């Protein structure tokens, strides 16, 4: 998969979700690549895993204020602070954007699946993958606030990936 194709998929998916589902305009910044830790160290990060012939992660990272604005646009309410509705909306925004990217990528690399979104909110946090790989990062502006769409994809060479089980949940192994 070419870097330019992935950037095009990120641009198309983000602009589509923001215009049709949120009714918000966005302007894309200059795409870049990043190694290691990604995203801001504060605000909201919504991550969705990808698995199949290629594996990786996609994320939407933004300030708490922009998360409230996106949730309000999606749910038709006003949110002054981050709450469960805002976090759920951020997970759904990430699911739609990364899902659209996945659908486009599948035409090039074969079938893939999405994980359930994971949403992190707070200060002084870092998100990273277990393997240190290159991320494609596209910054966007929505009003006067920047957010990032980030995707890391690599061929699945048959290596098993770790399974994460949320605290307090059991996993049954067959």
User: What backbone torsions phi and psi does residue 98 show, to the nearest 5 degrees?
Assistant: -65, -35
| Per-residue confidence (pLDDT) for residue 168, from 0 to 100 | 39
| Per-residue confidence (pLDDT) for residue 121, from 0 to 100 | 94
The beta strands (E) that lie in the chain are given as: 27-28, 32-35, 42-52, 54-62, 112-114, 118-123, 134-142, 145-155
| CATH number, domain with residue 76 | 3.40.1550.10
Look at the alpha carbons of 78, 137, 46, 115 in this order and tell me if their dihedral is positive or negative.
Answer: positive
State how far the Cα of 92 lies from the Cα of 37, in Å rounded to an integer.
23
In a domain, 123, yes or no: yes
In a domain, 10, yes or no: yes
In a domain, 35, yes or no: no
In a domain, 31, yes or no: no
In a domain, 164, yes or no: no
Q: Domain residues for 126?
A: 3-25+40-154
Q: At 104, which helix (H) or strand (E)?
A: helix 84-109
| Per-residue confidence (pLDDT) for residue 126, from 0 to 100 | 77
Written as six digits, the tokens of 94 are 């990430």
| Per-residue confidence (pLDDT) for residue 173, from 0 to 100 | 38
| Per-residue confidence (pLDDT) for residue 169, from 0 to 100 | 38
In a domain, 58, yes or no: yes
Give how many domains the chain has, as a whole number.
1
What is the DSSP secondary structure assignment for residue 76, as one 8-state letter? Answer: T
Q: What is the mean pLDDT of each run of 10 residues along the chain (174 residues)?
A: 93 98 97 76 91 93 97 97 98 98 95 95 79 86 94 80 41 37
């Amino acid at each position: 998969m070419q870097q330019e194709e992935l950037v095009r998929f990120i641009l198309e998916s983000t602009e589509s979700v923001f215009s049709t589902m949120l009714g918000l305009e966005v302007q894309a910044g200059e795409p870049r690549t990043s190694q290691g830790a990604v995203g801001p160290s504060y605000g909201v990060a919504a991550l969705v895993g990808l698995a199949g012939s290629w594996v990786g992660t996609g994320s939407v990272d933004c300030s708490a204020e922009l998360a409230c604005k996106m949730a309000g646009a999606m749910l038709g309410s006003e949110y002054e602070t981050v709450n469960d509705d805002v976090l759920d909306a951020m997970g759904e925004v990430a699911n739609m954007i990364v899902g659209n990217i996945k659908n486009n990528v599948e035409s090039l690399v074969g079938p893939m699946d999405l994980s359930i979104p994971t949403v992190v909110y707070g200060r002084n946090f870092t998100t990273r993958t277990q393997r240190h790989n290159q991320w494609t990062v596209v910054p966007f502006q929505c009003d006067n606030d920047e957010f990032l769409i980030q995707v890391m994809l690599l061929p699945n060479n048959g290596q098993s990936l770790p399974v994460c089980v949320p605290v307090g949940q059991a996993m049954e192994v067959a």
